[in-house]
Chains A and B, each alone.
With several copies, the nearest count.
Chain A
């Protein structure tokens, strides 16, 4: 079973694809608050390997916060969060770093090292995990070409346009072929054709068995994806996570 929400409609949804084994990310009654009132309350969810989820909800609902919990930038204020079957509370800082190498993230505000060329920024996850980017230069270049940055491989990030930054961020997120890709509004600044290309990349990865979560406001993107994979739509509203399926 791909999804294990507490929301009642959840049980109706079964994975379109056979999914076995343990959840890669598992939330059990997780709540989160930045200090004021609770932003996310009592959320339960199991992200199975090979599943494809969209995450929607009004601006300020907590989508980014939810993703930050998933890649351990934030720790739940209550509840149990397990990433790759390990409770985050019991992880050392190095465990967290190692876990992140298995999760590719596109942040909403794409941050790069401004003194390194785009290509090196995209290869950075390899570098920091001690792998040799030179050995994978051909793959990296193919990836850069796919996201349409071949002409920008050796410029510095501040010289990229808004959409180019998002594409570079996506390329960096997938360069390690991570088991999970969390993308926060990855197509907010790109045109429709490019967003289809980027979606294609994520669908390809999903077909290889990777878990994909995309936070987005773009309903057209969700429709386009649903035509190709068994994507499910999660919706955050009023501090809760719901599975929103039929209404799309």
Chain B
């Protein structure tokens, strides 16, 4: 009797989460393709996400730090210098957009100038200007308004918002951030399209199976469910593996010298490390939708 193996099969059919899964062929190139497409695109998406987050962070830092510091230089005869500096500090206190203002000490000034003037220059003896470091709030200072007020109250003050230095840096940083988001968008789009096409191709390869099932009395919902479950699972697994490998690679990239502070390392920070977990979810959602649509489209052509 060959019954035993047959019975085992029947039992296998009953076990797990329902019979429907077994009616979908488990392997084949289109299955591999779905897995790989989901995996590879998830891997790239993690990279793109890391890139855009890192550059976003960089852009924030540059814009913030550069945009939010300014300098007020007060040149005046020695006897008026202190008075004007005090007036300027008072004026800044009542200016909207100023987060803090601080007189730069003589020592700091000396340190800044040493590379140019050498350590031996007697700065104290010179009529050098007073410098006030201004930190702006996120809203920023109305530079023209401030200059007008300064012209009246502190005639010796020159306000420098570092625009000359800032503009290209901020532009560059924003550009990097934009490119990062663009890549992420592109790659997510390609991932979606790829999964959709792979699911459609796999479903087309299974058109016969669907037809056979429909002709022996399977309901649409049963057939669609079997395929949707299988393909969503494939996309989810593929994308999860890809995203995990991507995250691992990002984590293993030698971290940049953050002390240099100029460009942070590629990577996520804090809760950002959870972001890659979103990618398999997106992949699974796309696969769910794509398979459902393709399955129902195939079924619509059958009576």
Binding site for B on A (CB under 8 A): 71-75, 93-94, 96-101, 105, 107, 111-117, 119-120, 123-125, 127-129, 132-134, 137, 141, 150-151, 153-154, 172
Contacts and interface: CB of A to CB of B under 8 A. Distances in A.
Contacts, number: 100
Interface string B1-27: 011011101110110000100110110
Given A74-B303, A150-B2, A154-B2, A125 B216 contact: yes
Contact of A128 (B6, B9, B23, B25): B23
B215 A105 contact: yes
A101 B9 contact: no
B217 A128 contact: yes
Given A73-B303, A100-B215, A154 B23 contact: no
Contacts of B2: 150-151, 153-154
Contacts of A129: 217-218
A124 B222 CA distance: 13
Nearest to A176: B217
Of A113, A119, A123, A150, the most chain B CB neighbours within 10 A belong to A113
Contact of A133 (B10, B26, B217, B219): B10
26 contacts: A71-B215, A73-B215, A93-B219, A93-B299, A94-B221, A107-B215, A111-B211, A113-B23, A113-B25, A113-B209, A115-B25, A117-B5, A117-B6, A120-B9, A127-B19, A128-B19, A128-B218, A133-B13, A141-B3, A141-B6, A151-B2, A153-B2, A153-B5, A153-B6, A154-B2, A154-B6
Contacts of B302: 73
Nearest to A68: B303
A237 B15 CA distance: 42
Contacts of B14: 132, 134
Nearest to A152: B2
Interface in B181-223: 208-209, 211-222
Contact of A114 (B25, B219, B222): B25
Contacts of B19: 127-128
Range of interface residues on chain B? 20 to 34
A97 B218 contact: yes
A97 B217 contact: yes
Nearest to B19: A127
Contact of B10 (A99, A107, A123): A123
Contacts of B221: 94
A174 to B, nearest CB: 12
Given A107-B215, A172-B216, 14 more contacts: A73-B302, A73-B303, A74-B303, A94-B220, A94-B221, A101-B217, A117-B6, A124-B23, A128-B218, A128-B222, A129-B218, A134-B14, A137-B6, A154-B5
